[in-house]
Amino acid sequence: MRIGHGYDVHKLAEKRKLIIGGVEIEYSLGLLGHSDADVLLHAIMDSLLGAAALGDIGKHFPDSDKRYKGISSVELLKKVADILDENNYIIENIDATVIAQKPKLAPYIEKMKEVICDTLSISSNQLNIKATTEEGLGFTGDESGIAAHSVCLLNSVRDAFYVNPTVRDCKSCGGCQNKI
* pLDDT at residue 167, rounded to an integer: 53
Is residue 180 in some structural domain? no
State the residue range of the domain holding 52: 2-158
Residue 74 has pLDDT above 80, yes or no: yes
Residue 65 has pLDDT above 50, yes or no: yes
Q: Is 63 assigned to a binding site? A: yes
Q: Is 4 assigned to a binding site? A: no
Is residue 23 in some structural domain? yes
Is residue 124 in some structural domain? yes
In the DSSP assignment, the letter for residue 179 is: B
CATH number at residue 106: 3.30.1330.50
Q: Is 129 assigned to a binding site? A: no
Is residue 85 in some structural domain? yes
Q: Beta 23-25 vs 30-31: how paired, if at all?
A: unpaired
- The larger pLDDT score, comparing residue 180 to residue 43, is at 43
Q: Is 58 assigned to a binding site? A: yes
Query: Domain tally for the chain?
Result: 1
Q: Is 57 assigned to a binding site? A: yes
CB neighbourhood size of 47 (10 A)? 27
Residue 175 has pLDDT above 60, yes or no: no
Give the separation between CA 121 and CA 88, rounded to whole angstroms.
14
Is residue 165 in some structural domain? no
Q: Is 34 assigned to a binding site? A: yes
Q: Is 10 assigned to a binding site? A: yes
Is residue 169 in some structural domain? no
Q: Is 161 assigned to a binding site? A: no
* pLDDT at residue 179, rounded to an integer: 44
